[in-house]
Amino acid sequence: MTLSEEKHLSDFLTGKTEYTLGLFRFFIDQLAEIGEIKLRTTKSMIAIESKTPFA
C-alpha cells in the first residue's frame, strides 16, 4: 500500500454523527477495560488488536 492509500482513523470517523462517534468511543472504552487494545486501520476497516481474547 502506498502512503497516499494509507487510511487513518480519522478517515473512517470524519462525517459521522455525534451519536455514532459516542457509540464508537463507548465501545473502545469498554474494550480498554478488559485489557490493552490497539486500533489499526486497514484499507476498508478499523481492526482492534489485543493480547486478551474478547470475542
Separation between Cα atoms, residue 27 and residue 38, nearest integer Å: 13
Q: What's the whole-number average pLDDT of the chain?
A: 87
Buried b (16+ CB within 10 A) or exposed e, 2-25: eeeeeeeeeeeeeeeeeeeeeeee
Residue 53 binned pLDDT confidence (cut-offs 50, 70, 90): confident
Which residue in the block uniquely carries the three cell numbers 462525517?
A: 15
34: three-class secondary structure by DSSP:
helix
pLDDT value for 1? 38
Q: What is the pTM of this model?
A: 0.77
User: Mind listing the pLDDT tens digit for each residue in 16-41?
Assistant: 999 999 999 999 999 999 889 999 99
